[in-house]
Chain A
Amino acid sequence: MIASTPEATKHRRRPEKINVHILRQDGPGLPSYWERHQVGYEPDMNVISILQKVAAQSNTSEGRAVAPVSWDCGCLEEVCGSCTMVINGRVRQSCSALVDRLLEANPIEIELRPMTKFPVIRDLMVDRNRLFHSLERVKAWVPVDGYYDMGAGPRISREDQERDYPLSQCMSCGCCLDACPQFNKIELQLQPGESEEELQTRKNTAFDQAFVGAHAISQAMLFNSHPVGKNMANERLEALKQPGGIQACGNAQNCVAVCPKQIPLTTSIARAGRAVTVYAIKKFFDR
């Protein structure tokens, strides 16, 4: 297309227009379809600014008026975890996906798809409720007595803080889950006569039997190493011992490769594996 002429090569890094190929879907259970959009190039763009332009013009490259593309975003600086999508085949945050870099790798077009392991709500928006449910499954919190003033917390060594801080930066974006071969999509629809609450219960039951995910395993390890958090260590290990827990991990190590925060997820998984083994043996002998 444009890449062959010398003129185009000269302007390759500063094209006038950017072609965007977007996988759209009007709602849950409906067929998906590809659509091409074209937006004007500006310096320092990211995928978010492309999508903002797409929303403002609401016209395909063929000039057909369409509804704006739906997507999710928040902080635009890679700390909130909202804007995860599959960009040129890789799951990542769209705010930190810089257009100049994407065009270096593929000057023809930028391809956007929704995450593959979560039900599509619309276009690039998915339902990541399951991800938060996993945090509840592993009781990812410190069980303090309450919120009255009880003085300072426990003293913590610098070494422990430096081990824990990276884990506590997990922003629940879901990249690790989308890339994981053991984490499969669960998509349940409202059945006739079923209430929203009944559907949620049915979903939770399904979630509870499926793989909990690298992010939750890592959070379990974070709270199991906290001086007060570890008072519930056995409850967390029990959760990880269940089906869909630690043994569901196939050790593909994709999670750590795609984590935008470089969280040592596989280290957490290895720690969890050892802890669950010790816990199971102890439990066996304590019977």
Chain B
Amino acid sequence: MAGKRVVVVGGGLAGLAASMKLAELGVAVDMISLTPVKRSHSVCAQGGINSVSDLTRQEGDNEWKHFDDTIYGGDFLQHQPPVKEMSYWAPKVIDLMDRLGVTFNRTPEGFIDRRRFGGTLYRRTAFAGATTGQQLLYALDEQVRRRESEGMIKKFEFWDFLGPVLDENGQCVGAVAQDMVSMEIRSFPAEAVIVATGGNGLIYGRSTMSVFCNGSAASRCFQVGGRFGNAEFIQVHPTAIPGADKLRLMSESARGEGGRVWVPRRPNDTRYPKEIPESERYYFLEERFPKYGNLVPRDIATREIFNICVSEGLSVDPSRMCVYLDLTHIPRAELDRKLSGILEIYEKFQGVDPREEPMKIFPAVHYSMGGLWVDYEKSADGGLLIGSPKNQMTNISGLYAIGECDYQYHGANRLGANSLLSCIFSGLITAPGIVSGMQSKKSTDATSSSVFESAVARHQARHKALLANQSGNENPYLLHQELGDVMTRAATVVRENRQLQEAYDRALLIQERSKRCTLTDTGNWSNQNVIFTKAFQDMLPVALCILKGALMRDECRGAHFKPAFAPKSLSSQDPTERRKEAEVWCDRFEENNSRFLKSSIATWKAPEPEIQYEAVDTSLIPPRPRLYGLVGAEAIEQVWNERTKNKNQHQEVASERRNPSPVG
């Protein structure tokens, strides 16, 4: 591999995992990051990372069930082979992180302790206090520093990725990036480019994401021909602390450790929460979802909290919408041992001790399930063929996407503690695929230098034009706020077509206006103004994908909820009638799946995205209705199971006919 280089853009869990694995395989890496990689957004992940463990296995758990929970939680919108592979790798990923020195919480005997997370009935989640993402990231950062000291990795921190470089055949042969201090723009020739740049929460103005998560890197790949999948699936986390600059995450682990969500049964009850007796408290998640309780999947918890405040008027604070998340019944010492990181955040930013007084929380934009479309190669057992150059490759040959910025693992809704897993997993498996791809293809060395020069020139022209534009009248910061308001109103918890159409039209206008941004800093030294403006302009193509994808998807699936198309609960009490209703419900479910059990795949046709649909590989787990908390769930389940059984018998008969067994 001598002399061959790979560019990795982004230094969160996915980018670091890919870089360290590439270095181990003898490939030199140039890492490009907006921030010192140790400060990447993965540090904000709190609750933990999922895998089957020796203990859960003895309680009846296995990798297949982790796979099934992930698919069911994601409402069947993911291709199943990559998710299957991830679930089977999960215990190995945690073992590796353990060996790298992550300070996971321990049982008294010294094993890794586990807690329960949403969307599962097993205690699969390994954790390091309530700062698991930070601890995992540091372990990988340390290994990358080690490889850096050996000369295998070179970091370009405070550099902004401006786009991939494509040769005349459309093959990715490197990247162009800009030094955010000296403002120098240069190219980085590479055998492959991996984009690992996270989510796009900044499109919503305020979210739980870090300021770097603006989606611009993915957008820059999208705008030169990369496909963007399932953009409309944005996870709104049920529990966050509202703030003026940011909505701070309050981890699902608070509920995993026994935290209870409630409101007073009486609207506008002004009593101090601890003075409200049990009988006058409405633990609405526990009452409505007796099986999962406070740990229903995130999309469902979010809608319930939203409804309790918006439709039922039970917000606990008259001036803003919020509900209680209560930990005060748990002993202090246990809270400090398992949750101190997040409790300190609440205490510092709200000035209230959550060990003494219930926290006030409300949902916030949190995670992008969608992202750059990526490929995979299926193995004979229905998982992935490890080492295939196709794994995680976008539709642009040589350009890869991993971590939150791909669309691959979480379908319509991500389960808690699965993102850290998908980031590390996709990073680790991409490296061997790239190495085998390098052996079979022509090296980038042969690329004419004019390809790189013209790419640099194009980005320099954009940069200079922005600095020179003094005739515009738009302020990029205020325009960004406007976009955030439009997106938050139309494309979060509850979606409605008229609103989405209006938002789409407004976003198109904002896109036009963004071209007239005038900078207040026209200098060429550490100019944050111009870097931000470019990122903001590049948010718009992705914002349009989110809105258009949501507009076109006339159904409810995972995080995408359109009440006008919601399946109805069963209403009849009469068994025969109820049975009929359940039959109709199942017919509609099947009909809807044939239309919408498909990924939306956007391509950029400036100034708008064009959306097509891609069939989902559901070859391992047949889709079934997601019935958490629905009235009549038992009747529907019964009908559904009978149909599945009939279908299976039918298929067996059919396959026997096709492949008659030899007569012995």
* Residues of A bordering B, CB below 8 Å: 26-27, 42-46, 48-49, 52, 55-56, 58, 65-68, 70, 73-82, 95-96, 98, 121-122, 125, 128, 132, 135-136, 139-144, 146-147, 149-153, 155-158, 161-162, 164-165, 168-169, 171-172, 223, 226, 228-229
Q: Which of A80, A128, A146, A162 contacts B210 (CB 8 A)?
A: A80
**Chain B: interface residue count, which band?**
35 or more
Q: Are B128 and A165 in contact (CB under 8 A)?
A: yes
29 residue pairs bridging A and B, Cβ less than 8 Å apart? A46-B245, A55-B528, A56-B477, A65-B520, A68-B520, A68-B521, A74-B41, A76-B211, A78-B345, A80-B41, A80-B210, A121-B181, A121-B526, A132-B36, A135-B145, A136-B149, A143-B146, A146-B24, A147-B143, A147-B428, A149-B95, A151-B95, A156-B110, A158-B108, A158-B110, A168-B101, A169-B129, A171-B134, A228-B99
Q: Are A140 and B142 in contact (CB under 8 A)?
A: yes
Residues in B101-144 with C-beta less than 8 Å from chain A:
101, 103-111, 128-129, 131, 134-135, 138-139, 142-143
Report Cα–Cα, A149/B520, bound state, in Å.
Answer: 53
Q: Which of B139, B249, B520, B525 contacts A77 (CB 8 A)?
A: B249
| Closest Cβ–Cβ distance, residue B481 to chain A (whole Å) | 8
Q: Are A55 and B477 in contact (CB under 8 A)?
A: yes
Q: Which of B98, B129, B143, B529 contacts A141 (CB 8 A)?
A: B143
Q: Are B244 and A43 in contact (CB under 8 A)?
A: yes
Chain B residues whose C-beta falls within 8 Å of the C-beta of A152 in the assembled complex? 95, 98-99
Q: Are B520 and A153 in contact (CB under 8 A)?
A: no
Report Cα–Cα, A96/B246, bound state, in Å.
Answer: 12
- Complex: chain B residue closest to A158, CB-CB: B106
Q: Are B24 and A77 in contact (CB under 8 A)?
A: no
- A-B pair count, CB < 8 Å, reads 185
If over half of A's interface residues share one DSSP class (helix, strand or loop), that class is named, otherwise mixed; here it is loop
Q: Are B477 and A161 in contact (CB under 8 A)?
A: no
A136-B148, A165-B129 are contacts. A76–B134 as well, Cβ < 8 Å?
no
Q: Are B96 and A147 in contact (CB under 8 A)?
A: yes
Q: Which of B103, B145, B210, B525 contacts A76 (CB 8 A)?
A: B210
| Closest Cβ–Cβ distance, residue B204 to chain A (whole Å) | 15
| Closest Cβ–Cβ distance, residue A204 to chain B (whole Å) | 11
Residues in B242-274 with C-beta less than 8 Å from chain A:
243-246, 248-249
- Complex: chain A residue closest to B528, CB-CB: A70
Q: Are A79 and B44 in contact (CB under 8 A)?
A: yes
| Closest Cβ–Cβ distance, residue B435 to chain A (whole Å) | 13
7 tightest A-B CB contacts, nearest first: A153-B98, A141-B142, A67-B521, A56-B477, A58-B520, A155-B110, A153-B99
Q: Are B475 and A56 in contact (CB under 8 A)?
A: yes
B548 at the A interface (CB under 8 A): no
B43 at the A interface (CB under 8 A): yes
Report Cα–Cα, A273/B96, bound state, in Å.
Answer: 32
Report Cα–Cα, A146/B43, bound state, in Å.
Answer: 23
| Closest Cβ–Cβ distance, residue A139 to chain B (whole Å) | 8
Residues in B498-528 with C-beta less than 8 Å from chain A:
520-521, 523, 525-526, 528
Q: Are B142 and A155 in contact (CB under 8 A)?
A: no
Chain A residues whose C-beta falls within 8 Å of the C-beta of B348 in the assembled complex? 78, 96
Q: Are B244 and A147 in contact (CB under 8 A)?
A: no
* Residues of B bordering A, CB below 8 Å: 20-21, 24, 35-36, 38-41, 43-44, 92, 95-96, 98-101, 103-111, 128-129, 131, 134-135, 138-139, 142-143, 145-146, 148-149, 181, 210-212, 243-246, 248-249, 337, 341, 345, 348-349, 351, 428, 475, 477-478, 520-521, 523, 525-526, 528-529
A68-B528, A146-B24 are contacts. A81–B98 as well, Cβ < 8 Å?
no
Which of B101, B134, B146, B521 gathers the greatest number of chain A CB atoms within 10 Å? B101
A79-B43, A96-B349 are contacts. A161–B104 as well, Cβ < 8 Å?
yes
Chain B residues whose C-beta falls within 8 Å of the C-beta of A80 in the assembled complex? 35, 39-41, 43-44, 210
Report Cα–Cα, A152/B525, bound state, in Å.
Answer: 48
A77-B249, A121-B181 are contacts. A67–B529 as well, Cβ < 8 Å?
yes
Chain A residues whose C-beta falls within 8 Å of the C-beta of B526 in the assembled complex? 27, 70, 121-122, 125
- Complex: chain A residue closest to B113, CB-CB: A158
- Complex: chain A residue closest to B212, CB-CB: A74
Report Cα–Cα, A229/B210, bound state, in Å.
Answer: 31
| Closest Cβ–Cβ distance, residue B394 to chain A (whole Å) | 24
Chain A residues whose C-beta falls within 8 Å of the C-beta of B41 in the assembled complex? 74-75, 80
Chain B residues whose C-beta falls within 8 Å of the C-beta of A42 in the assembled complex? 244
Chain A residues whose C-beta falls within 8 Å of the C-beta of B104 in the assembled complex? 161
Chain A residues whose C-beta falls within 8 Å of the C-beta of B138 in the assembled complex? 168
- Complex: chain B residue closest to A81, CB-CB: B39
A162-B337, A165-B128 are contacts. A79–B106 as well, Cβ < 8 Å?
no
Q: Which of B20, B110, B131 contacts A169 (CB 8 A)?
A: B131
| Closest Cβ–Cβ distance, residue B484 to chain A (whole Å) | 12
Q: Are B211 and A67 in contact (CB under 8 A)?
A: no
Q: Are A149 and B92 in contact (CB under 8 A)?
A: yes
